[in-house]
Each structure stands twice: as structure tokens, then as C-alpha cells.
A and B are shown apart, each in its own frame.
Chain A
Amino acid sequence: MKTIHVKNMKALLVHASETIIENEPLLTKIDTVIGDGDHGIGMKRGFMAVKKMLEKKEFLEMDTLCKSTGIELLKSMGGASGVIFGTMFLGGISHMPHENFADLNQIASYFADGEAAIERRGKTKPGQKTMLDALMPAISAMKQVAENSGEIRTLFEEGYKGALQGMEASKTMQSRVGRSKNFHESTIGLPDPGAVSTSLIFKAFAEEIVKCEEC
């Protein structure tokens, strides 16, 4: 398949929510060492709200689904993560069609513009030990699949590989932004909590897409 149906995209988002909720202790553990310890709890709160919203509502269009997800994160989370992960799902919304499916290019562009919006708002760039260090390589990988006109399933699988590599690479970086910058050299060795969350979201996408019918 070269497209994803809205019901499958919803399944991806539900599984991403469950994955974040399950991994709250891991995220809290990392953020307690190199941050203020609120990342895991905030992400859990946000994705519990998303999961509840997704389970209650039917979605017929890709843009409505993705916009509702972003807004729910924004309303429930707070902290830096609320704006950042809200923007991840809202920043590229103009690429999502008001239809019940989206194609490879639309998905890749959606996440790419989300990333650009986070850079703009946070005045940050990849390389500063943030979630962008996982998101950026995920997007590059997805773009490549889209350019080569691959399968939608491959797009998400490659996206996860990129995110995972990026998250691993964030371990070698020293934090330059956010509270964790105050921990200076001691941030080297641990991954950025936001990058871990990002890789978990893409991991869930990759796990779920293989289960979807017509994918």
C-alpha cells in the first residue's frame, strides 16, 4: 500500500499512547537524573488524555484526527513537553488531507513541518540533545521512502530506525537547552528523555503498522 487509512492511523496513535503510558517509569528515571523529573508524568498525562479522546470519537478525516491529537496534548500536558509534542502533531497539519487517507508524501511532509515548527518555537536545532535529535533522522528516513515511492509500512519502519539511531546518538551529546543544560557534562551518556519519547512513538507506529489490514 502507498496510503494509510484514517482508521489505521488512529490505531497507530492509540498504540503510541499505550507505549508512552507503559514507559512512564523509564522516562521519569532518565529525566530525574538530567532534568526536573516531570517528563514521564507529563507524557503519560498527555497520552492518557489522547487515548481517552481517541477511544470516544470516530474520525473520518486524517487532518481532524491528527489535529485533535495535538490539541489534546497541548491542553493536558503543560511543561516544555506539552508544547513540543503538541506542535509535533499540529505544526504540519496543513499537509494532512481532509480525507480518509493520506499518502507517503503527505505523511513525510506532515512530520517534517511539525519538526520545523518545533525548531522555530523552541529556537533549537538538532544536535543540542533534544527530541529533535530523534525526530529529524526519523523524518529523513521517511522522506527517503516517500521519494523512492516505497510502501507505507516501510515508511513507518524506516522512520522508527531513524528515530532509534537518533535517540542513541543523543547519548553522546551534551545538553544545550532546557533545564538539563544546567547538568552540563553529566548529561553525556544518557539519552535525552524527549528523544526517548519520540523513538517510543515511532516504535509504536512501526509495531502497529504491520498489524493493520491493507498496509
Chain B
Amino acid sequence: MKELIFINKNKQHLDEVIQGIMAARPEALRRIENEYSYVLTKKELFADKVQVIVNGGGGRGPFFEGVVGEGMADAMVSGDFNCAPNAYMLYQTAKEIEQNKGILFIANNFMGDYLNNDMAKELLEGDGIETKVCYASDDIYSSRGENKENRGGLSGIGFIMKVAAAASESGENLKEVHRVSEKVNERTRSLSLCYNVGKNAIEFGNGFSGEKPTEIVPYEDVNRVAEKVVGVLMNELGRYRSGRIHIMVNRMLYTSYAEGYIMLGALKKKLEGRGIKTGICTAGNYFDAYDYNGFIISFMAADDEIENYTKRVNGFDFTV
């Protein structure tokens, strides 16, 4: 990864990330060694529970290396940089942690993630292990004039993971945990926005693989940006906009802690100004696929059922 400085030559940087995480949390985490993928599981698994495995291509984190723990995933499997983990390792990880209650995979809706999760599901079902997959498709700019099913995923996967964890920890069966996960996905929308210093403009809809922005607007201040974001996301939420809006502000690599909270506050104020109820609000550096200055902003419109599961969540932070 060319954007990282403090890495070692000729080493797999993700491998070294995992080594570091294990140094920090040896009491909580267990690593499953594999030459081609990076796997962490909880050290102690709840027995008699649907096991939730979040997976995706590697990046700068914390998604996906940092998402294993109580109230989060039971395991994570990460592939190489920007590359979905292989089906075989998903299968192996599931086999190691399953507790006779089935497996829920949660992945972003990209072709590689789909193919590998789909194949892993088939392999597990062949062994008699009930398996379902929830694909996050919250990225509103990722498909032009297509259905939500064709959209890619961004940080909305964090909302799905949290609710799936809460549902599975409260003893729901696989069918229920999957249903409520799909419901969260259905009610989540995200967008990316990046500051272009040369143009002093905000670019909406850059993809993390270099996809061009959908719209470029001159930059004035955070309030104007927040106003625009609220307008776009609420419009995208369509018939779910009457739900309580949970806000996740995800800072990109070059955006500060301070700016994250300024953006979060501005969004909450704009929503409330429109008479919209807000729920849990969080700002952090979670899904760092972009080496830009900017944000991924996710809104999740919770109904009573989802609201009930988010109540269990402490502080609603997303990572260890």
C-alpha cells in the first residue's frame, strides 16, 4: 500500500497489523493463521448463539481487523488489500466457530465478496451448517439508475454488524438475525464526500477505486455541506424517512477528530431543524478505504424493532 509509510518492505502489512492487534488484545482475541487471509475470532465464543462473521477486502482499518468483540462480530476474515477474502477461508473460519445455531456472514455488496460468501455458504450447507449472508448495499452513488441490489457497500455495514450482534446475543435464531440485518440494510444510506483542495470544492460520490465523483460543489462551510448531505440522504431514504435517524460520520484518512465531531453536530442540528428525530450518533475513523480528506456519512432510519436492538449497544462505537 503506497500511502502507508510505517510498514516493512517485503512483508504483508495486514499480517503485521494482526500481529499488533494480538499484542494489544491477547486476552480477547484469537488469530487463525493462514497464508492467504487474515482471521481474528473472539477468544471466548458465546455458546448456543448464531455466529456473526464480518468479512471484506483489507484496508487501513479498523474495518475489518478491528471489528471483533462483544457487541460486534464473532469473527472477521479479511483478504488482501482491496481484495475479498477467499471462500475457503470463510468456510474454515465458520467451521471453527459455529455453535450449532448457524452462521451469518456480513459483507459489502461487491462482486468478489458476493462470489466468495456465496461459495462459502454452499460449502457450509453441504456440511449441514445453516448459513445466511447479508450484503450491505448502502452506497447511493455506486450505481447510476440501478436498483439498491446493485449498489456497493460503504460504512453502513457497521450498523448491520451492530444490530446483528445485538440480535444474536439476545438469542434470536439465524432466520431472525438475518431478517433484522436485511432490514437495517434496507434502511441505511451512505455517501462519500471529499474535499478537493485545488478547486476548493466538495466532490460527492468518489469511489475508493478511483471512480469519478457524481457531483462537485464549491465549498463554503460545514453547515452548507451538512445541509446538502441531509437533503440527499433523506431523499434516498424515501419511505423510511419517518424513522429515527442514526448518524455515523466516518472520517477519511486525512480528516481530524475535531472535524468529525463538527460534522456530526451539524448533521444532527440540520435533521432536528427539519423536525426529524435522531438516534445514536457516532463519529470516528472506521471504514478507511479512502486516502482523502473527507467523510463517508451513513444514515440509518430505525423502526421500533431496530431501535430496541440499538439500545443494547454501549456507546455505539464500532471498533475495539
Contact = CB atoms under 8 A, between A and B. Distances in A.
B115 A121 contact: yes
Interface stretch (A56-64, A69-77, A165-173): A69-77
Contacts of A136: none
A36 B79 contact: no
Interface stretch (B81-89, B95-103, B235-243, B262-270): B81-89
B90 to A, nearest CB: 10
Interface string B117-130: 01100000000000
Interface residues of A, number: 30
Interface string B134-167: 0000000011100000001000000000000000
B28 interface: no
A78 B209 contact: no
Contacts of B57: 38, 79
B207 A79 contact: no
A45 interface: yes
B110 interface: yes
B70 interface: no
B86 A75 contact: yes
A82 interface: yes
Contact of B84 (A75, A80, A121): A80
Interface string B63-84: 0000000000000000111111
Nearest to A36: B209
A200 B119 CA distance: 26
B112 A80 contact: yes
A1 interface: no
Contacts of B82: 36-38
Interface residues of B, number: 30
Interface in B19-43: 35-37
Interface in A9-44: 32, 35-38, 41-42
A98 interface: no
Contacts of A74: 86-88, 119
Contact of A121 (B36, B88, B118): B118
A55 to B, nearest CB: 17
A183 B211 contact: yes
B111 interface: yes
A74 B112 CA distance: 12
Contacts of B250: none
Contacts of A71: 88
B144 A184 contact: yes
B119 A78 contact: no
Nearest to A35: B209
Given A42-B80, A122-B111, A76 B209 contact: no
Contacts of A82: 84, 86-87, 112, 115-116
Contact of B80 (A41, A49, A83): A41
Interface of B: 35-37, 57, 79-89, 110-112, 115-116, 118-119, 142-144, 152, 207, 209-211
6 contacts: A42-B80, A74-B88, A78-B85, A79-B57, A80-B84, A122-B111
